[in-house]
Structure 1
Amino acid sequence: MTALTRLESRPAHERAILTAGSIKPVYEQLLLSDDIEHQRALGQSFLEAQLAQAADLPEDMPRDLSALQTFVEQHCADVARQYADYLQQRKDGGPRQFFTNKAHALFFLQAVAPTKLVDGAWLYGLLRHWHDPRFEGLICTYLEELGDGNPAQNHVVIYRKLLAEHGLLDNAFIPDERYLQGALQLALGYCSDDFLPEVIGYNLGYEQLPLHLLISAYELSELGIDPYYFTLHVTIDNASTGHAQKAVQSVLQLLPVEGDREDFLRRVALGYRLNDLGQGSRTIIESFNLYGELLSMLERKRPFGQHMHSDFCRFEGRTVNQWLSSPEQLPGFLSAMENKGWIKRHQDPQASRFWQLVEGDGAAMFGVFSPYEKQLLHDWIAGDWRAERAPAAVRRGNRAAAEPPVPVNDPDVQSLHATLKGLAADEQMQVLIPWLSAHRHAHPAGLMATRRFIELKSGFR
C-alpha cells in the first residue's frame, strides 16, 4: 500500500520530476482517457523518464532472493518495534508526532488524494493473466484493493467517502508534484506488458507496512477522523499472509527459468526504487503551515466575496469589501478583526464574533465555508487553546461484508448486463476487465464487474 522507505517514514531521496505543472495532465489523461493506445504510449514515455531518475537512487532491495523474505520480515519487525516506542511515548504524555490539529490532518488527506484515489492501479494490466497461476498473488492483491467488488471494502470508495465527509473533494489546489506517485501507478498499470519486472518491483516496495501508516491511523482517530482506510491497510499489507508476503512470492514465481535472471532482477530493483520518487507522506505532513493555508483559502474566497458585503461594518476605517479588494490586504484584515475583538486568538473560537458568523444556529455566513475551510479558521483562532474534552476517538465496528444489492436502474449496470448476456466465460472476462480499471472499478457497474470477474475466475480452477 505504501513505499518500503526508511523507518522514519521519509524516503532517503526525494526527486522533483519533470517541469512544474506537467504531471497532473499526465495523471488525468492516464486516468480518464478512453484511448488505450494513447494511454500506453503516454505511460511508456512517462515511465522511461521516471526510471531514469530512479536509477540514480540508492538500491536497498537485496538481489539475493533467499534473503528477500527475511528482509521484508525484518522491516516489519522494526516498524512494529518503533510503533511500540511511539505508543509508549504517547502513553507517557508525549504530543502527537504528525498532526498538530485537525486542519493539519485534513490537509494531509487531501494532499495524498491523487495517490489514494488510484490505489492498486499499478496491477491493473495483469488482469489479463488471470488464467496463469504465477500471477495469482498479484491479481489477488489488486482485487482486494477493489474490495472484491464490495463498496464497503473498495479502497477508492472508502477514500472518496472520507474526503466527502470533510469537504475535501475539490482537488484544484493540490500542487502538481503530488500527482507523481498516482501517475506512476497508472502508467505501470497500462504498460505492464513492457514493464513487468518494474511492476513487480514497485509492488514489492509499495506493499510493505510503513511506520507512518500506523501513526497516521492512530492520530486521525484521536482527532475524530475515521481512520478505516488506513487501518484496513495495516491488516491487509502484513508480511505473513497479506500483500507484503504475496509481493515476495510474486518475485520468485515470475522469475525467468532460463531467461536473463540478472537483468530481470535489475529491473525489479529499479521498479522498487520508483517508490522513492516524489514527495513522501512525512514531507507532505511537514509542509503544512496553518496560517499560510488559511490565507490561501481566503484568497480563493476573496473574488467571490469582495462585492457581497454592506458598508455598514468597518474595520480601521475600511469596509469589508475594501479589505477584500486585493490579496495583499488579507493579513491586515485578519489583524484588524483581532484588534476590534471580532477574533480572539488562543481562546475557544465560540468566543469570537467572527466565528459565530461562520458556525452555529443562525450563522450569517452559513454555507460560505466548506468543512475543511471552517476547520482552518477554527484551528487558527484556537491557536494554543485546547478544549477540555478532546474529540471522541473513532472506533468503527466490522463493516458489512455481505454482497451489496446491484442498482438495477443504473444505465451502466444495465448496459453491462446486456453486453454479457449470451457470451462465453472467456468472452465475458474480456468485457469485464476494462470495468476493473482505476477510473471505473468504484462505480456500480465496476463493482458488479469485479464480483463477476471473481466468480468466473473461481469457476476455472
Structure 2
Amino acid sequence: MEQAFRSWAPFAPFKGSAAFTVTPALTPSIERSNHFDAPSRAEEAARSSSVDSNVTLVDSQEVKGSLPCPPSHHGPAPSIDGSSRGIVPVLSRGVFKADASWHWAMTDRELYHRLQNLSSYPSAVPIARRRVFGEMASLLADAALLEQDGTHVFSLAKCFDPDEFKAFLQRSHDATTDKFSAYNTRRAEASRKYVDEEMPQQSQKGSSLDRTLRKRRRAVAGQEMFRGDRELAKAWMRRSSVVKYVDGAWLQHLHRTTTGIGGLADGRGGEGSPAWLRAQRRAARNSWQVMSEELGDGDIFRSHVAIYDNTMDALAREDEGESASLPPKGHDRAFTEWEGAAGHDPHHPKSSAGLGQDSDGNARCWRAAVAQLALSISPNEFLPESLGWNAAYEGLPLHLLISARELEELDLDAYYFWLHISIDNAATGHAAMARECINDLLREAQAAKGQDFADEEWARVKLGFALAEAIPTTPILSEGGDEDDHTPYELTWTSVTQEDVSPASTSSPTHHISSDVIRSQLVDILKSKAPTAHGLHHGVRARLAGESLSHWLDPIHAQERVPQLLDALSANPIWIKPGSAGESKFVKEFEWGGKMFGAMTGNEVHVLRTWVDSLAVQGEEEKDGIRLLSDSDAEQAGREALMVWLSAQLPEGVQPRTALETPEWLRSPTLPTVLLGADRKLGDKLESWADFTAKVVPDLYKGLVERPDAISKLPTNLPALLDVLDPSSNTGSTTSTSSDFLASLSSLYPCPAMPASSTNLLDALAPILLTLPAPLERSLSLSPGRLASHLGMAAVKTLRVLHGFTEVSDPAQQVERGGDGREVGCMGTEDGQGLGIWELVERAWQRRWAGESVSGNAEAPSIALDAFKDGPPARLALPSLLLLLSSQFWELAPILLGLQLFLVQALLGNKRVLAVLSGLDCSDVLTEKGVVNSSSGESHQVRAQLEGMVLHANRWVQRAIEVAVERESSEEMREQVRSEVARGWRIARQGVQVALEG
C-alpha cells in the first residue's frame, strides 16, 4: 500500500502525454496541444533535501545607491517545508533609514511556485496571507489622496449604494471605450499619413514592395503598444504568461465545504448568523462560477490557461521548428527560471541589450500573479476583498483592447485576448456577475448584521477593488516613461518569519501541551532509568557533548545532568531532528528494531516523541546580520494600515470587526500527532473504525474545521490507517480486473440500508452530505494549469454538477467531438439556476427544524460544519477523512475518485436520500420562510433536478476514473488504479455505515 500511496503524483498531466492530447473538432482555428508537467521524482527528492540551501531565485530589484550591502558570508537560508530555495536576504521596509536591517524573505518567483503546489508547501498559506497585508499597506499609504480622486473607488460613499456603484463601473467602462476610440482615431490618421507620405516616397525611390507587404505595413501603421515590432510582441506575450497561467486564481479557493463556517462568519471568530453564512456561501458560489468559466467550464479547449499554453507552444515552434523544446508550464519549477518569463528573451534580436531593460525579472508580472494567488488563500478571511478584486479585474482594461487588435495585426494568435473582451462583458458576463455578487452580499450583510457591519464589508470590497487597480498586470516594453517598472522594492518578496521556520504549535490542535510540561515529564522518566542504564553504558564509547553516556546517566548526579543531557541531545543533529520524532535516531532506538526497544514503555516513548516534536526547528533568529522576523513584526504595517482605514470608514466610536492577528487555524495542524492521539499511549493501535472514531475523530474533526484554510500534511501512518478503514482490502482485489469493475462495485458493496425516519436519516448523514463534494473540491485550489487536463476537467465537471450549475453534456460526447457537447456560448448570468448539494441539505435541515419548532419564529440554526463538531463522532468519521484527504488531490487521486463515486452514485442516488433532500416525505413546512411545502410541485422539480445531478455527476466521475486508468502505461499500474478506486468506494461505504449505526 505504501508504495502505491507514493506513486500517484504523476496523475498530474505531464508533458508529451498522449493520453491527454486530442484534436478538437469545434474550437477556434488555432493550434492546440495539451502538454503539462507533473512534479518530477527528482524535484520531490530535492524538495526534501537541504543541499539547495544556497540556490536561490533572486528576482527582487537591485538596491541602488549607497545602502548597506547584504552580508557576503551568511549561513544557509532557513528551510521551510524541506526547502530553502528562493529564500534570500533583503532590506527591511525602511531601506533609506540609518537603522536599515537585513532579514530573510521569499522571492516572488518562489512563492508563485509554492502557491501552485500547496500540497508540497503548506507553509505557503500564512506567507501568502502576509503578502496580502503587505499589498494593503502599500496601497493604503495613499488612501487620503485616492479618496479625493473622483475616478477612484475610494471616492465612493462610505455607505454602499448599488446604483452609485453601478454608475461608477459604467463611468470606468465609458472612460476605457473613449480612450480606445481616441486610439483608433490616432491609428486611422497614422494609416492615412502612411498612404499619403511614406508609400509615395517609396514608390519614387523605385521601391519594389509588393502589394501584400504594403497592406501589412498600412495595417500596423501607428501601432502604439508594439510599434509594429512582431518580436517585441512575442516577447511581451511570453512575459505575460506569468499572469496568464494563473488566470482566475483570485477565486480558486473561495467555494469549499468549509467556506463561511459559523465560527468565522462574523469576522471575529464568534457565532455567525445563519443568514450571513448563507450570504457568504452564495457569494462564494456565484464567484466560483466565474472561476469555472475561466477553466472552460470543464472543457479543456475552453480553458483559458490551456489556450494560452497552446499559444506559448506555437511561438516556440515558430522560432525553433516543430522539434522545438516547449516552454515550461506555470506550475513547474522550471518556469520560475525560464528566460521568456523572466524578461530576457533569447529570441529577440535586441536581447543582448536586455529587452526593455527589465533585468529585474519582469517584477510587476510576478507581483501581480503572486497577489492573485495569495488573495483567495484564506476565503474565510478575505472574501470581501476577493469579491472587490473580481469586480475590478473583470472590468474592461484599455491594454486588453489594444493588445488584441495589435497582436492580430502582427499575425499572432490573439484569441485569448478577444475571448476576455467578450466573456467579461458588463451585460451578462463576468463583470455583471461580479457586480451582482457584491450587491447581494452587502444587502445580506446589512440585513443579517446591521448597517455598521455592512459598511465595514463595503470598505473591504473597495479595498480589494483598489488593490486590483493598483497592481499592473502587463509587462513593460521600454525603459523610461510611464511604462517603466516602478514595482516597489518591498513588493518583490515576502518576509519569512520565525513561525514559518518553527511552527508555534506541534501538538494536537485541541490539546496544546506545554513543552515545559513535556520536558519535565521526560526528565523524570530518564532519572528513573538512570540507575539501570548507567551500568549498561559503561562500555559505550560514543560521546555526547564531549561526555560519555555513563557520565550523563550517573544516578548520583542525575538531578543536574539529565536536564543537561536533553539539551545536548536536542543540539545534536545526529540523534535528534527537532520537530520530527519520526526522523530522529534517538527515538527510533526505543522503538521496534532499535537497540533499546523495551527500555521504555509505550507511554514513555510517547512522551519522548512529543518532546522531540515540540522542539523548535533550529533556525537562528539572527546570523551574520540577517534576522528572522516574527509574524507580528512582518504584518505590523499592514495590520495598522488596515485598522486605520477601516476605522475611518465607520461611524466614530465603532470598532472594526476584522481580526488582524495571525489566526492559528491558518497553520496546518500536526495531523500525524492527531492520528496517533495526543491523549493516549503510543502503543495503542487503531484496529477498526470504532478505534478511529473514538480515539481520533473528535480531535481530527475539530482541528480541520478550526483550520479550514490550512493545507494538511498527510500523516506518515496514513497507509496503515487506510488499511484499517478498508476491512475488505484483502477480498476485493479480484473484482477490479473486470472491464466493468465500476458497475460491479455497487452490487458487491451496496449502499447501507437507510432508516425509515427522515429525521434520523438527516441527523446521521447531514455532515457527510455537506462534505459530499470534498474529495474533488480542493482540486480547484491548485494551479489552474494543473487542472488543464482531461482528469482535471472531469473534476471541474463533477463539481459544477454538485454545485448546481447547468450541465447537460455527456463524457462520451466530449471524447468524440473534442469538446463538451454543449453547442452554446458562455452561460454567464444564465448559469447556476439550480440548487447545489449544500443548498439542498440546508433546505432539508430547515424543514426538519420547522417541523420541530414550537413558535415558528426563530431563525433556523446554522448548517455549517462547525455546528456538528460536538456531535456524535461516528457521524463525523467519514467527513473527517474526506476533509483530510482532499488537500492532496493529485497524490491520492484514485482513492478520492473512489470515495467520490460512492458518495454520488450510491449515497446521493439512494431513493431515501433523494426523497429527504427533495422534501417529498416531509410535512409541516413553513412556506413563509422560503421553504417549499411538501405537497407542492416544486418538490417534484427538486427531485428531478437531484436525479439529474446524480446522473451527470456519476458520468463525470466515471470519466475521471477512465482517464486515470488510461493514463497508466502498464496493465499492472492500471490494475493498481482500479484497486485504489475500489478501496475508496469501500471506505466510503463503511463510513456511511458507521454514521448510520452511530
Q: Shared fold (TM-score greater than 0.5)?
A: yes
Change (3 A) 1:425 1:165: farther
Distance 2:131 2:175 in 1: 34
Match of 2:420 in 1: 233
Change (3 A) 1:120 1:287: farther
Distance 1:443 1:194 in 2: 31
Distance 1:36 1:432 in 2: 19
User: Pick from 242, 247, 254: which aligns with 1:119?
Assistant: 247
| Equivalent pair of 2:253/2:780 in contact (CA under 8 Å) | no
Shift of 1:197: 1.4
Match of 1:110 in 2: 238
Shift of 1:241: 1.3
| Equivalent pair of 1:39/1:190 in contact (CA under 8 Å) | no
| Equivalent pair of 2:243/2:369 in contact (CA under 8 Å) | yes
Distance 2:164 2:431 in 1: 15
Structure 2 residue 594 is matched with structure 1 residue 248: no
Structure 2 residue 328 is matched with structure 1 residue 135: no
Match of 2:467 in 1: 274
Shift of 1:443: 2.5
Structure 2 residue 311 is matched with structure 1 residue 162: yes
1:263 counterpart letter in structure 2: E
- Mean Cα deviation higher: 256-265 or 124-133: 124-133
User: Pick from 285, 297, 317: which aligns with 2:477?
Assistant: 285
| Equivalent pair of 2:404/2:414 in contact (CA under 8 Å) | yes
Match of 1:333 in 2: none
| Equivalent pair of 1:47/1:187 in contact (CA under 8 Å) | yes
Shift of 1:269: 1.7
Distance 1:286 1:239 in 2: 32
Change (3 A) 1:195 1:135: closer
Change (3 A) 1:286 1:249: farther
Shift of 1:276: 4.1
Q: Deviations over 1:32-67 (max 9, x none)?
A: 231574232121111111111121242511234231
Shift of 1:428: 4.5
Matches within 5 A, 1:320-335: none
| Equivalent pair of 1:123/1:139 in contact (CA under 8 Å) | yes
Shift of 1:437: 2.9
1:226 counterpart letter in structure 2: D
Matches within 5 A, 1:137-156: 137-156=286-305
2:468 counterpart letter in structure 1: N
Shift of 1:117: 0.4
The share of aligned pairs that are identical, in percent, is 28
1:251 counterpart letter in structure 2: I
Matches within 5 A, 1:71-110: 71-92=168-189, 93=191, 94-100=221-227, 101-110=229-238
Match of 1:298 in 2: none
| Equivalent pair of 1:432/1:449 in contact (CA under 8 Å) | yes
| Equivalent pair of 1:137/1:249 in contact (CA under 8 Å) | no
Distance 1:141 1:165 in 2: 27
Higher relative contact order (CA 8 A, sep 6+): 1
User: Pick from 209, 220, 226: which aligns with 2:407?
Assistant: 220
Shift of 1:426: 5.0
Match of 2:139 in 1: 54
Q: 3-state DSSP class of the match of 2:302?
A: coil
Matches within 5 A, 1:285-304: 285-287=477-479
Q: 3-state DSSP class of the match of 1:32?
A: coil
Distance 2:793 2:225 in 1: 34
Distance 1:21 1:91 in 2: 47
Shift of 1:265: 1.8
Distance 1:48 1:276 in 2: 16
| Equivalent pair of 1:22/1:176 in contact (CA under 8 Å) | no
2:407 counterpart letter in structure 1: L
| Equivalent pair of 2:139/2:470 in contact (CA under 8 Å) | yes
Shift of 1:86: 2.2
User: Pick from 775, 781, 797: which aligns with 1:431?
Assistant: 775
Q: Deviations over 1:292-324 (max 9, x none)?
A: xxxxxxxxxxxxxxxxxxxxxxxxxxxxxxxxx
Change (3 A) 1:436 1:117: same
User: Pick from 783, 786, 790: which aligns with 1:444?
Assistant: 790
TM-score, length of structure 1 as denominator length: 0.63
Distance 1:37 1:448 in 2: 25
Structure 2 residue 389 is matched with structure 1 residue 262: no
1:241 counterpart letter in structure 2: T
| Equivalent pair of 2:779/2:795 in contact (CA under 8 Å) | yes
Change (3 A) 1:280 1:39: closer
Matches within 5 A, 1:153-192: 153-167=302-316, 169=327, 171=335, 172=337, 173=339, 174=342, 175=361, 177=363, 178-192=365-379
Shift of 1:176: 5.6
Shift of 1:427: 4.5
| Equivalent pair of 1:23/1:176 in contact (CA under 8 Å) | no
Shift of 1:217: 0.3
Match of 1:26 in 2: 111
Shift of 1:29: 1.0
Q: Deviations over 1:180-206 (max 9, x none)?
A: 111111111211211111111111211
2:778 counterpart letter in structure 1: P
Change (3 A) 1:449 1:197: same
Match of 1:69 in 2: 166
Distance 2:284 2:415 in 1: 28
Q: 3-state DSSP class of the match of 1:285?
A: coil
Match of 2:130 in 1: 45
5+ residue gaps in structure 1?
1-14, 289-413
| Equivalent pair of 1:122/1:186 in contact (CA under 8 Å) | yes
Q: 3-state DSSP class of the match of 2:376?
A: helix
| Equivalent pair of 1:105/1:220 in contact (CA under 8 Å) | yes
Distance 2:479 2:239 in 1: 10
Q: 3-state DSSP class of the match of 2:177?
A: helix
2:327 counterpart letter in structure 1: L
Distance 1:203 1:16 in 2: 29
Shift of 1:111: 1.4
Q: Deviations over 1:365-414 (max 9, x none)?
A: xxxxxxxxxxxxxxxxxxxxxxxxxxxxxxxxxxxxxxxxxxxxxxxxx9
Distance 2:235 2:378 in 1: 32
Alpha carbon RMSD of aligned pairs, Å? Answer: 3.1
Shift of 1:77: 2.1
Change (3 A) 1:436 1:23: same
TM-score, length of structure 2 as denominator length: 0.30
User: Pick from 170, 180, 198: which aligns with 2:385?
Assistant: 198
1:194 counterpart letter in structure 2: E
Q: 3-state DSSP class of the match of 2:381?
A: coil
1:151 counterpart letter in structure 2: I
| Equivalent pair of 2:368/2:473 in contact (CA under 8 Å) | no
| Equivalent pair of 2:387/2:434 in contact (CA under 8 Å) | yes
Distance 2:176 2:182 in 1: 10
Change (3 A) 1:36 1:199: farther
5+ residue gaps in structure 2?
1-59, 63-89, 92-104, 192-220, 260-277, 317-325, 329-334, 343-360, 481-738, 752-767, 805-833, 837-998
Q: Deviations over 1:330-371 (max 9, x none)?
A: xxxxxxxxxxxxxxxxxxxxxxxxxxxxxxxxxxxxxxxxxx
Structure 2 residue 799 is matched with structure 1 residue 453: yes
Q: 3-state DSSP class of the match of 2:226?
A: coil
Distance 1:23 1:221 in 2: 32
